[in-house]
Structure 1
Amino acid sequence: MIDLSADGHVHTAFSSGRDSVSVLVAAAEQAGLTELTFADRVGPDTSWLPPYLSSIQRAQQRTDVTLRRGVEVEAIGIDGWLAFPSDLNGLEVISVAFNRLPLPAGLLSPDAVRTQIDVGAMRALDVIDQVVTVTGLAVERVSRYAPTRLARPLDFLVRSGIDETAIPDSALTELVEACRANATVVEVSERHRLPGLRFVQACAEAGVRLVASSDAVRAGEVGAYRYVREIAEGLLPATASA
């Protein structure tokens, strides 16, 4: 159910990573990977997309590893609007990220949301509902432009102090259905150790494709899985009985 010979999310020195495209590709070859997806973070002011995409295309000519040209884009609007770069041409994959909570009054950081919950100004269930709703709208919007992935599912909630176990089944079901309906691939992140087995199992049972992701910022992290392997092994009994 989770192909450990692929790495679905790595960062280069073009954004938050430390190494070049070619160095990451060499690391993927050394790790025995068959596929590598680049997912550098972009926004409206990103100016380096053309050389980034060209670097990946040049690297593809020198390796048998399948390279996917992707980016990570943050959802910033209550209607699912994202911080798109000015030009999406040449992209094969777009990963949807959720780093701040979109509200009518603006964006709240996880720390701000945690504080609001602690003082009783917000309810955890309302935050969960908002995250699920906006995420569903965001993946629907992105799927119009390119194959879509959901990066670090539930990460915002965890950073806001809301454990995955506190998320109602109905909310998880709604999120899984949004991914299924929009052919959105769910990333299982090694770096962030998310999502948990409960959500991953729900995705698997709904037929949502899962992809292993290191979320690497250094070459040595590419394709190095421990948490993802544990999740994959946890799915085996359910897979065998299906």
Structure 2
Amino acid sequence: MTARQLPRPTADLHTHTDFSDGHDPLAEVVAAAGAAGLGTVVVTDHVRADSGYLPAYTAAVRAVRADAPLRVVCGVEAKILDTGGRIDLPADLTGVEHVALADHRFPLPDGPAHPEQVRELLATGALTPARARRLLLAATTRAVTRLPAGRTAHLAHLFSVLPKCGLDEADLDPAELAPLARACRERGTAVELNEKWRCPSPRTAAALAAAGVRLAAGSDAHRAAEVGRFDWAAGALAEARPDTLAEPRR
């Protein structure tokens, strides 16, 4: 059975509009989600601590949801900054209901590093692959515990930064995931299987699901036509454990 024949997720927890780096307007993204037969779409445009567009963004989401044929959740995507788990979020999140937590850069003790910098550290022996994996896991775990209260959240494209740095997710021991799984379970934070980056692997997702972590599907769509397309994620979710499929809680 192919992924196209599998039951499709009914929620897309990771989409972008032209408020950040998406190609299409918010209304087109929501319309595409409805056309794809989704029951929920979460818009997760990128933010940083100094982002100033949130008032206009949250107002636009409120306006479009009034006539939307599905549930529209106002979210943002923010990166993990360092091994202390700091998150690159604006101080004022008024109107934001959901946070997608992402590894856009490699979180080191002194801040986020470009993957090429990590490659250089690995090449010179200043950083070992095992320590790099431990640092990323620690940073992600701590970031989950620092997510703002009163909002739903999920981990977006978990471990996507590893291959960019020349590291392999397959080298992770499932036992190393225990602290992250515990943090996600206790905080109600889902883990997304990301269609664009095809991560985390079904093996990793299965280990997290076995530890009680909820799984989700995210297209990471940057064009309206990509919303709700889960050619890889549907199969990966089924392989990991479909009964853990998550939507943002109401």
Q: Same fold, TM exceeding 0.5?
A: yes
Contact 1:33/1:223 (<8 A) preserved: yes
**Please, what TM-score do these two structures have when normalized by structure 2?**
0.89
Letter in structure 2 aligned against 1:109: H
Letter in 1 for 2:228: G
What are the superposed Cα offsets for residues 114-163 of structure 1, whole Å, 9 maximum, x if unpaired? Answer: 22212222101101111111111111000535222111111112221111
**Superposition pairs for residues 199-238 of structure 1, below 5 Å?**
199-235=204-240
Over residues 205-237 of structure 1, what are the superposed CA-to-partner deviations in whole Å (9 max), with x where a residue is unaligned?
A: 122111110000000100011110121232369
Alpha-carbon spacing, 1:102–1:235, altered in 2? closer, same or farther (3 Å): closer
> How far, CA to CA, are the matches of 2:187 and 2:241 in structure 1?
26
Query: How many residue pairs get matched?
Result: 238
- Tell me whether 1:51 sits opposite 2:31 in the alignment: no
More moved, 33-42 vs 68-77: 68-77
Partner deviation per Cα, 1:7-65 (whole Å, 9 max, x = no partner): 00001100010111100011011111110001011012211111111111111111121
Change (3 A) 1:18 1:238: closer
Equivalence for 2:74 = 69
Equivalent residue for 1:128, pick from 133, 153, 169: 133
CA distance in 2, matches of 1:175, 1:105: 21
Q: Find the counterpart in structure 2 of residue 170 from structure 1.
A: 175
- Is the contact between residue 49 and residue 91 of structure 2 (CA under 8 Å) also seen in structure 1? yes
The residue number in structure 1 matching 2:91 is 86
Match of 2:187 in 1: 182
- Structure 2: how far apart are the matches of 1:100 and 1:5? 30
Q: How far apart, CA to CA, are the structure 2 residues paired with 1:65 and 1:31? A: 11
Q: Deviations over 1:66-112 (max 9, x none)?
A: 00110011111332111111311111101111122333444321121
| Counterpart position of 1:14 | 19
Q: State the Cα deviation string for residues 144-192 of structure 1 (Å, max 9, x = none).
A: 3522211111111222111111112222223222211221111110001
My pick for the range that moved more, 101-110 or 64-73, is 101-110
Contact 1:35 1:66 in 2 (8 A): yes
2:226 aligned partner, one-letter code? E
Look up the equivalent residue of 2:116 and give its one-letter code: D
Q: Work out whether residues 10 and 38 of structure 2, in 8 Å CA contact, stay in contact via their aligned partners in 1.
A: yes
> Helix, strand or coil for the counterpart of 1:158?
helix
Gaps of 5+ in 1: none
Is the Cα contact below 8 Å between 2:8 and 2:230 reproduced in 1? no
Name 1:191's counterpart in structure 2. 196
CA distance in 2, matches of 1:104, 1:134: 9
Corresponding residue of 2:35: 30
Contact 1:42 1:72 survives alignment (8 Å): yes
- The 1-side partners of 2:111 and 2:218 are apart by 30
Partner of 1:108: 113
Identify the range of structure 1 (84-93 vs 106-115) with the bigger mean alpha-carbon deviation.
106-115
> Normalized against structure 1, the TM-score is what?
0.92
Give the percent of matched residue pairs that are identical in Structure 1 and Structure 2. Answer: 34
- Which residue type is aligned with residue 175 of structure 1? L
